[in-house]
Structure 1
Amino acid sequence: MKNKLFLYLFVFAALLALYQFVSANNLQKAMTADVNELQAKVEQLEDSIQKTQLKLLDMQYFSLENNDDALAYYDHLNLEHPARYIEDKLLETNEKSGDNPLIPYAGMESDFKINKIKVLNHKWILADFSDGKYWGDLIIKYELKDDLSVDFTLLDHLLYTRSN
């Protein structure tokens, strides 16, 4: 009887060990699959981040902030952010009542005002303007003087036509 009891206990312990082994093996396979899936997602996100960084660098190529040669023109002025200063001065031209004086068109829905500005270098600006319904682009030449005044000269302009 004692031998049968030990045999049953041994068989029960063996079955319990087999169950634990199979269960742990299945758990390990599931966790390995999860890790592999997460690694694939991380690689995909890293690729996406790298592509986004390259796009950002490409977009910043024509930018005063990233052009050390153009920034050298303003070293003697002690401006912390020359591009921001120039943008602010250009936006001040919007404050006059009526159309912005740099825009050679009369507003059709309301007054034409400059919306977006991209300071390309120490001489040129690209700007977007709109009256709420119609819009266009400007190429502006500017000169930042030693007294921190800025002269703007319109080089070219474009008004988009609506096609209905």
Structure 2
Amino acid sequence: MKQRIFLYLFIFSSLIALYFYASGSNQVGSMRERVDSLKEETKTLKDSLKSTKLQLMDMQYFSLENNDDAMVYYDDLDLENPARYIADKLLETNEQKGDNPLVPYEGMESDFKINKIKVLNHKWIIADFSDGKFWGEILIRYELKDDLGVDFTLIDHLLYRQSNY
């Protein structure tokens, strides 16, 4: 009788060991698949990040902050961020009553005001203007003086046609 109990215990423990082995093998296989898929996803994300960085570098190519040759013009002046200073000075022209004096159009819905500004280098700015319904862009030449005054001169402009949306 003892032998049968030991035989049943041996068979029962063998079945439990076989179950744990099969279960562990399945778990290891599923974990490997998950690790492989995460590696692939990581590779895709790295490629996407690299592509985004390249696009960002392309977008920042024409900017004062990334143009060391243009920044040399501001070495003598005590300005922490010349592009921000010049943009602020340009936005001050919006404070006048009526249309912005640099925008060569009369506002149709309200007054034309400058919205977005991109300081391209030590001489040029491109800006977006709008009256709430109509919009356009202007190219401006600027000169930063020693007394930190800024003179703006309109180079070119365009007004977009109203869309039918």
Indicate the SS of the match to 2:146.
coil
Distance of 1:129 and 1:64 partners within structure 2: 21
State how far apart, in whole Å, the 1-side matches of 2:48 and 2:126 are: 29
Give secondary structure in 2 for the equivalent of 1:76.
coil
* Alignment correspondent of 2:2: 2
Aligned to 1:26: 26
The residue type paired with residue 20 of structure 2 is Q
| Cα distance between partner residues in 2 of 1:154 and 1:37 | 56
Q: 1-side partners of 2:159 and 2:9: how far apart? A: 91
Aligned residue number for residue 106 of structure 2: 106
Distance 1:2 1:107 in 2: 104
Counterpart code for 1:51: S
Q: Which runs of 4+ in 1 moved over 2 A?
A: none
For normalisation by structure 2, the TM-score amounts to 0.97
- Quote how far apart the aligned CAs of 1:10 are: 0.9
Deviation at 1:33, TM superposition (A): 1.2
Task: Provide the secondary structure at the position in 2 that maps to 1:152.
Answer: strand
Q: In structure 1, give the amino acid aligned to 2:133.
A: K
Aligned position for 1:138: 138
Give the deviation of 1:35 after TM superposition: 1.1
Q: Report the RMSD for the aligned CA atoms in angstroms.
A: 0.8
Cα displacement string for residues 63-113 of structure 1 (whole angstroms, at most 9, x for unaligned residues): 000000000000000210000000000000000000000000000000000
Deviations 1:97-134 (A, max 9, x none): 00000000000000000000000000000000000000
User: After the TM superposition, which of the residue ranges 40-49 and 118-127 deviates more from structure 2?
Assistant: 40-49
* Unpaired segments ≥5 residues, structure 2: none
Amino acid in the other structure paired with 2:155 = L
Query: What CA distance in whole angstroms lies between the structure 2 residues aligned with 1:149 and 1:69?
Result: 21
Shift of 1:163: 4.5
Mapped pair 1:82 → 2:85 = no
Does residue 1:58 correspond to 2:55, yes or no?
Answer: no
Query: Identity of aligned pairs, percent?
Result: 67
Q: For residues 45 and 111 of structure 1, what CA distance do their matches in structure 2 show?
A: 45
Structure 1 residues 163 and 17, CA gap change in structure 2 (3 angstroms): closer
| Superposed displacement of residue 24, structure 1 | 0.4
Total equivalences in the alignment: 164
Q: Which runs of 5+ in 1 are unaligned?
A: none
